Amino acid sequence: MEKQKKLVEAITDMEKDFPQWYTDVVKKADLAGYSQLKGCMIIRPYGYAIWELLQKQMDARFKETGHENVYMPMFIPESLLQKEKDHVEGFAPEVAWVTHGGETPLQERICVRPTSETLFCEHYSNIIQSYRDLPKLYNQWCSVVRWEKTTRPFLRTTEFLWQEGHTAHATAEEAQQETIKMLHVYADFCRDVLAIPVITGEKTAKERFAGAKATYTIESLMHDGKALQSGTSHNFGDGFAKAFDIQYTDKDNQLQYVHQTSWGTSTRLIGAIIMVHGDNSGLVLPPKIAPIQVVVIPIAQHKQGVLEKAEQLKTNLEAVARVKLDDTDKSAGWKFSEYEMKGVPIRLEIGPKDIEKNQVVLVRRDTSEKEVVSMDILETRIEQLLEEIQQNLLQRAAKRRDCKTYVAKTMEEFEKQLNTSQGFIKAMWCGEQSCEDAIKEKTAATSRCIPFEQEHISDSCVCCGKPAKHMVYWGRAY
């Protein structure tokens, strides 16, 4: 029991030090480790299994909407990157450059992709000639490199895994429809799979992606009241098309520029899962994203028939869930703590007395509630319970977000609320960047988005008092 005690004590209370709690969970739940290169992480098998489930389910949604997967090079010649100057200026501080091939200096620097707009644009300029070639609905799963000053596993790393959709359309209307459609694909995925409720809306011009006409975002709220940009969708208009000469001949035999979009999410979503659902015992995983949905723990497994029955239960349950049987010689108490730390949704306990009564004990990770269930209805109950846990985690996260969403009509209220209890702040804004900058300077809060669902809080901008144009969600962010 001493080892079990140490395992639990190894997690810092989130109320005392949330960043340290996060790091503890990442390490103790075996999600990731640190590499020798600062800012790079080693995604451990359990962490990568979560990413694989996330990728599989998200990729299926992309394919349902007609998108195809491709793969672009990881290297971009500097001359190609320079074709879109706004894009280059936006990423310049984060770009990693290759200057040598072996011992030989390169005639031209090569960028390690921070994102792939320029590569897709060059490709589209070569393959799009006619309206019959449109739309092009491509997506790429890959890694990118951004030289970050401050890093944290999953949330912000030098190299990270992601997907980036890049599409080309005949008209501005089609591109806008695509941009919003994919944003809602993200929002629905976060809600239905990750059990994370998000706010959808448009980024301000200051927060817009470099080179984009408009940027839309899904914003989620973490346990500590900080916001996390969890996915973005960009309408590029025809700006990139003009820079890269991506033209097509329309039905009237006239040359037109294509209209493009780009949208992406990353391993940052794993960080969101940790910080939205986790507790002081470790990770809490929504069943739909959990590599192990049910762990079978034999009690007094040295006694005759216990391991055999546990193996039989595992086999039966594999038809309805992802199941693991832990038949190692660790103590039952150690196993309880280990799988609690790993966020496994359901723990199934089976011992000699349970076998006699034709029952098992089920323990929920989200509420710690215990339930005795007959083996005759076990598969049905497991299915029901997994769905109950999934819905409970979503409802709990939504309730917490709503409780940490505040309204401010004045800067005094704005600052007081942020200093008292962090969260989303809904406040009116005049639309001027000077006020946006002033709010950030005074409070360290940034505009998260102009939500699609607008509310009228007051007539005046929270900062300058001039007539307001939008209600904006504000918050301190990761």
Q: Are residues 234 and 347 in the same domain?
A: no
pLDDT > 90 fraction of the chain, expressed in percent and rounded: 92
Task: Please classify residue 148 by burial: count the beta carbons closer than 10 Å to its beta carbon, then call 0-12 exposed, 13-18 middle and 19+ buried.
Answer: middle
- The angle formed by the CA atoms of residues 280, 282 and 285, to the nearest 5 degrees, is 125
Q: Are residues 266 and 170 in the same domain?
A: yes
Give the per-residue pLDDT at 10. Answer: 75
Q: Please tell me whether residues 251 and 353 are part of one structural domain.
A: no
Task: List, for residues 314-329, the tens digit of each pLDDT value.
Answer: 999 999 999 999 999 9
Residue 418: CB atoms within 10 A of its CB come to 21
Residue among 149, 128, 272, 146 nearest 210 (CA)? 146
Query: Which CATH number does the domain housing residue 160 bear?
Result: 3.30.930.10
The whole domain housing 455 covers: 405-475
| Domain-ending residue, one of 350, 385, 420 | 385
Which tens digits make up the pLDDT trace of 183-214? Answer: 999 999 999 999 999 999 999 999 999 889 99
d(CA 39, CA 73): 22
How many angstroms separate the CA atoms of 197 and 194, rounded?
A: 9
Examine the domain organization and report whether 370 and 429 are in the same domain. Answer: no
Whole-number pLDDT of residue 9: 56
- Please say if the pLDDT value at position 345 is more than 60: yes
Alpha carbons 244 and 84: distance in angstroms, whole number? 8
Residue 395, in any domain of the structure:
no
**pLDDT higher than threshold 60 for residue 368:** yes
Q: How are beta strands 136-145 and 104-112 bridged, if at all?
A: unpaired
* Residue 267 and residue 241 share a domain: yes
Average pLDDT score over residue span 226-254: 97
CATH code (residue 376): 3.40.50.800
Average pLDDT, the chain: 95
- Same-domain pairing of 310 and 166: no
Asked if residue 219 and residue 355 are part of one domain, the reply reads no
- Give pLDDT, residue 88: 65
Residues 261 and 370 in one domain: no
State residue 81's pLDDT score. 86
State yes or no: pLDDT of 7 exceeds 80: no
Res. 1: pLDDT tops 50? no
Task: Collect all residues with Cβ–Cβ distance below 8 Å to 127 and sequence separation of at least 6.
Answer: 133, 136
In the numeric block, which tokens belong to residue 397?
A: 């996260």
Tell whether 304 and 363 lie within a shared domain: yes
pLDDT above 80 (res 390): yes
Q: Is 164 helix (H, G, I), strand (E, B) or coil?
A: strand
Q: Which pLDDT score, from 0 to 100, does residue 426 have?
A: 98
Q: Provide the pLDDT for residue 3.
A: 44
90 pLDDT band (50/70/90 cuts)?
low
- What is the average pLDDT across 263-280? 98
Q: Is residue 174 scored above 70 in pLDDT?
A: yes
Same domain, 137 and 22: yes
Identify whether residues 151 and 90 lie together within a single domain: yes
Which whole number is the average pLDDT over 222-227?
A: 97
